[in-house]
Structure formats: structure tokens, C-alpha cells
């Protein structure tokens, strides 16, 4: 089953999408997926591509990997597991929510503070991407992401609109595993986020600061502001 890879459709995503579409028909909940060597033959691709596809499906909650057992198909939870980074689009799709994203800024800048967060030189070029997220046609999240420009200059505004930021980060780096850490701060809105979210300046909201790394190397730094009504963050914890 050869698949044609395009610039914005890396093969691991195409393999993952094909496997996901077969869950519930060819692959049932609780069933083991074929072993990696068999999947390599089925999709006529490398072991790295298969592992990337499986890792991506695991991040979305469609499969779980167990050493010595294999990869088991599961039903993705409707509650976001905060231990697994997931894109806004995938999260809203899992909840069955109508959503949209508009890009408000796509600029190459220099900023000493952001450069420090990205662990790069003060004069280094930074790609700044500001996006406004809507849920059920209501403004829900205003976020500005920063990436080292030299590493991600292959990312375009059009590619983000079509495929999302994390997909394009994987496309540029070939890295499918990303560690994301988020810190939540109570703040009062400033002028820009108030305008974007339709709030009065000084409204109490939650600011989300996100740092994405791979192998200890900074890949993305994001500052996001969540609407106090239209965007809900759920943290689930279990003891024992």
C-alpha cells in the first residue's frame, strides 16, 4: 500500500490517519495492531515512519504501547489527558466541538526576552505566530507562539492553516516526540488580549505559558490567554 508523501503531508501522518480510520472496522477496541515489521510491509515504509505514526496515535489516545505485548487499540477518552500534548484541533474534535482558528500575526522578529526563553542568542531571529481560537463560534483562546526562525523557516502561514503547528514542527525536524510543559497563571487582561477575546481590560483570566522541547532543546515557547467562560481547562488526577 504505497503512499505518496507531499511537502505538507509527512508519511507518518498519512499512515497514522489510515490506521485511525480502520479503528472500529478492521481493528477493534482491545485488539493488538500488527507488529512493526508487518506494518512496514503493509505501508512500504521505514521503521521510523511506523514508530512516528504509532507515537502520534498514542498521543491522541487511540492506541497504547506496552513493552513485550505490543500496541493495543483503545477508545480515546473524551477528557483531555494533560500528560500528553495534543493539538487544539485534535482536542476539539475529540469533544465534538465546532472550532476554528484565525492567524492574527505571522512575523519574523528579534526579542531578547523570548530569545532567552528559547535558549538562543539575543540577536537570533524568532518566528512569531499569533492565533485566535474559536469554540462554537465564540472567542476562546488567544495564543502567541515563538519558534527559532532558522530551525523552522520552512513553516509558512498557509501550512499552519492547513496542518497545524505541531504537525509542521514534526515536518521540519523529523522529530515526532515532543515534551510539553505548561504553567498556569491568574492575570488581568491587557489591551491586546482584551480586544481579541472580547473582554474588558483588567478582566481576571488564566494565562498559559507553554514550553515545548525535544531532547532538552527548546522548540516552541507560547503565551496563551484563555477566555474565562468560553474556554475550560480540566485537570484530572488520580490517587492510588
> For the chain (length 240 residues), average pLDDT per consecutive 10?
50 88 86 94 91 84 85 66 58 77 96 94 94 95 96 92 85 74 92 96 94 84 95 63
- Residue-wise pLDDT for 17-26, tens only, equals 899 888 878 9
Protein fold of 88-226 = Chorismate lyase (3.40.1410)
CA neighbor of 208 nearest in space, from 179, 186, 232, 236? 186
Query: Could you name the CATH architecture of 11-73?
Result: Orthogonal Bundle (1.10)
Domain assignments of the chain as residue spans, ordered by start:
11-73, 88-226
Round to whole Å and give the CA distance between 224 and 218. Answer: 18
Q: Which three cell numbers stand for residue 185?
A: 497563571
CA neighbor of 165 nearest in space, from 101, 225, 217? 101
- Residue-wise pLDDT for 77-96, tens only, equals 543 444 444 577 777 766 67
Round to whole Å and give the CA distance between 170 and 14. Answer: 13
According to DSSP, the β-strands at 99-109 and 126-135 are: antiparallel
According to DSSP, the β-strands at 217-226 and 204-214 are: antiparallel
Round to whole Å and give the CA distance between 52 and 113. Answer: 33
Contact predicate 108/125, CB 8 Å: yes
Amino acid at each position: 500500500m504505497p503512499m505518496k508523501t507531499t511537502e505538507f503531508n509527512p508519511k507518518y501522518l498519512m499512515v497514522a490517519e489510515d490506521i485511525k480510520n480502520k479503528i472500529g472496522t478492521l481493528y477493534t477496541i482491545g485488539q493488538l495492531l500488527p507488529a512493526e515489521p508487518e506494518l512496514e510491509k503493509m505501508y512500504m515504509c521505514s521503521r521510523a515512519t511506523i514508530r512516528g505514526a504509532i507515537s502520534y496515535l498514542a498521543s491522541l489516545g487511540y492506541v497504547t504501547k506496552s513493552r513485550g505485548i505490543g500496541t493495543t487499540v483503545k477508545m480515546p477518552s473524551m477528557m483531555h489527558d494533560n500528560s500528553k500534548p495534543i493539538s487544539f484541533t485534535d482536542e476539539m474534535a475529540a469533544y465534538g466541538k465546532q472550532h476554528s482558528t484565525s492567524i492574527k500575526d505571522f512575523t519574523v522578529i528579534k526579542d531578547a526576552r523570548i530569545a532567552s526563553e528559547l535558549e538562543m542568542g539575543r540577536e537570533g531571529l524568532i518566528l512569531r505566530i499569533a492565533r485566535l481560537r474559536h469554540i462554537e463560534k465564540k472567542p476562546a483562546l488567544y495564543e502567541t507562539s515563538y519558534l527559532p526562525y532558522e530551525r523552522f523557516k520552512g513553516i509558512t502561514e498557509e501550512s499552519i492553516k492547513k496542518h497545524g503547528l505541531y504537525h509542521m514542527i514534526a515536518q521540519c525536524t523529523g522529530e515526532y516526540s515532543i515534551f510539553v510543559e505548561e504553567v498556569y497563571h491568574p492575570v488581568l487582561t491587557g489591551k491586546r488580549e482584551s480586544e481579541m477575546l472580547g473582554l474588558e481590560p483588567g478582566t481576571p483570566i488564566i494565562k498559559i505559558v507553554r514550553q515545548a522541547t525535544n531532547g532538552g532543546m527548546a522548540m516552541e515557547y507560547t503565551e496563551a490567554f484563555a477566555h474565562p467562560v468560553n474556554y475550560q481547562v480540566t485537570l484530572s488526577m488520580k490517587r492510588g
